[in-house]
Amino acid sequence: MRIYPTKPNKVYFYATCLVDMFDPDAGLNAMRLMENEGLEVIFVEKQTCCGQPAYTTGYDDEAKKIALSQIALFPEQYPVVVLSGSCGGMMHHHYQRLFKGDKQESSVNQFCDRVFELTEFLVNVCRTKLTDKGEQSSVVMHTSCAARREMNVHVTATQLLDQLDNVELKKQAYEEECCGFGGTFSVKHPNISQAMVEDKTKHIEAVGADTLVSADWGCLLNINGAYEYQGKAIRGQHIASFIIERIGGAH
């Protein structure tokens, strides 16, 4: 079981590639959530990919180069808060595996210990307490495979949503199943990926929730794209944006 540190004064923020390219507002809203906790949030502009695509396709040497370049951007001993369970899993768990037995293993492991997914950090480090200012609503949540199985942060995401008094959290059937994105999986196996996301969209739609939320933009990109292809108006939202709107912190 992970031992969590006391609440810091400063944090590094790792937005992820997909948030940077497709939903920068989610990144800004995540920063606002942490600033609401009294933290100074440091965004390092040179951050890029965490190296997961290279790692999961077998290019370990390339993944190590990317990992070292990212680690070097966060030299102070502040927590590194990541806006994705998938990228968080890569940086917290798989960096350690990449450098096992390497001369840099110790320093890499020290970095990995500082990596936290956003909802995990808010719940277990900041002890965040939310006050819901929104109207009565319902929500269904999708959690990425890495967020669920590697980081176990479907639990903390649920705990945050449960604090919103006017929000009913509905549970989809087979909620633990993959949406079919899986990074390069959706490119290598498009037919399988399409079948998986079609199942996922049916189960999400069946619960009749007002809003779909997820803490991973890779999954949202896939699910939203599927709904658009199906000609449906349903669109998922990053959990950071959903929460900041509910507590009245959006600009």
Instruction: Determine the structural domain holding residue 237 and report its residue range.
Output: 137-246
CA angle, residues 77, 81, 85, in degrees to nearest 5: 135
Q: How far apart are CA 24 and CA 93, in angstroms?
A: 26
Identify whether residues 70 and 167 lie together within a single domain.
no
**239 in the same domain as 188:** yes
With respect to residue 3, please indicate whether it lies within any of the assigned structural domains: no
Q: How many CB atoms lie within 10 A of CB 68?
A: 17
Q: Do 115 and 65 belong together in one domain?
A: yes
Whether residue 168 is found in the same domain as residue 87: no
The total domain count for the chain is: 2
64 in any annotated domain: yes
Same domain, 141 and 88: no
pLDDT (tens place) for every residue of the chain, 251 residues total: 789 999 999 999 999 999 999 999 999 999 999 999 999 999 999 999 999 999 999 999 999 999 999 999 999 999 999 999 999 999 999 999 999 999 999 999 999 999 999 999 999 999 999 999 999 999 999 999 988 999 989 999 999 999 999 999 999 999 999 999 987 888 889 899 999 999 999 999 999 999 999 999 999 999 999 999 999 999 999 999 999 999 996 55
Q: Of the residues 92, 124, 156, which one is the last residue of a structural domain?
A: 124
- Angstrom CA distances, 176 to 6, 77, 91, 95, stand at 31, 34, 22, 25
Size of the chain in residues: 251
Q: Which residue has the tokens 């939903």?
A: 23
State whether 61 and 104 are in the same domain.
yes
* pLDDT reported for residue 186: 85
pLDDT at 250: 56
181 found inside a domain: yes
Quick one: 22 and 108 in the same domain? yes
Tens-place pLDDT, residues 18-27 = 999 999 999 9
Q: Are residues 185 and 115 in the same domain?
A: no
Q: Is 132 part of any domain?
A: no
pLDDT recorded at residue 1: 78
Does 5 map to a domain?
A: no
Is 103 in the same domain as 150? no
pLDDT at residue 109, as a whole number: 98
